[in-house]
Structure 1
Amino acid sequence: YQQVYSWLKKYRESGPDSLKDRRGRKVPEEELTEVQRLKIENRLLKARLEDNEIREALAKKVREIERRDRH
């Protein structure tokens, strides 16, 4: 009952669009707070760093294999 009452109240106050499920929606960049922007940037930089570390490890392994094959 309480949930239906809540939906009806939303519908009456803001119309049918207010009943849309917005969970997980992407927030437009202009709506982000500075902290949210920094968290996103931090996550991207960490992912790039991890990617670079993997590439370096792979290149090192390839060089190792090439040296071993030459001898």
Structure 2
Amino acid sequence: YLAGKGSLRNICCTYEISSPRVLRDWIKKYNGHKTIKSHNKQGDRIMTNGRKTTYEERIEIVAFCISNNDDYQATADKFNVSYQQVYTWVRKYKANGYEELIDRRGKRKDTDEITESDKLSAQLKLIEAENRRLKMEIDFLKKLKEVERRR
């Protein structure tokens, strides 16, 4: 465009630029000697996907983060995990120690570990689910009788 080899609109069509306004902004930045970035990389680093880690790795990650003045971003980058996960692990460690870093997802409690209130709440959930199923069955039968009466 600066060489005079086409209009804003023609150059946008040739190089599949979304609008002449975008090209105009790029030209202003170029003439102002500012760097043009393809996109904001700050958001990319924060939202990176984590990976599966072992208990020992989590301990190492937390230790590294704390020794580096709680620099969560540097820790996340070094160990290839998400910023949020590092933050969560450090917070759990500071609240309750290294035992909190154990991954307990999908683990059932032993029968001796289950308290009476846990047993009652589980039983209540089962009864509520059965109650919902029976209500649905009754509603279905009512609807079926209504359809049969119409015939």
Number of aligned pairs?
61
Equivalent position amino acid for 2:128 in 1: K
Question: Residues of 2 paired with 1:29 and 1:45: CA distance?
Answer: 20
Aligned to 1:48: 130
Question: Residues of 1 paired with 2:111 and 2:150: CA distance?
Answer: 50
Q: Secondary structure at the match of 2:103?
A: coil
Equivalent position amino acid for 1:59 in 2: L
Q: Give the drift of 1:26.
A: 1.5
Question: Residues of 1 paired with 2:143 and 2:133: CA distance?
Answer: 15
Q: Deviations over 1:19-65 (max 9, x none)?
A: 75113422123320000000000000000000000000001101110
> Computing the radius of gyration over CA atoms, which structure comes out larger, 1 or 2?
2
% identity of equivalent residues: 29
Could you tell me the TM-score, scaled by structure 1's length?
A: 0.66
Could you tell me the TM-score, scaled by structure 2's length?
A: 0.34
Question: What is the aligned counterpart of 1:33 among 86, 110, 115?
Answer: 115
Structure 1: runs of 5 or more not aligned: 11-18
Structure 2: runs of 5 or more not aligned: 1-59, 65-92
Q: Secondary structure at the match of 1:64?
A: helix
Question: Residues of 2 paired with 1:26 and 1:65: CA distance?
Answer: 46
Aligned to 2:62: 3
Question: Residues of 1 paired with 2:136 and 2:129: CA distance?
Answer: 11
* Deviation >4 Å, runs of 4+: none
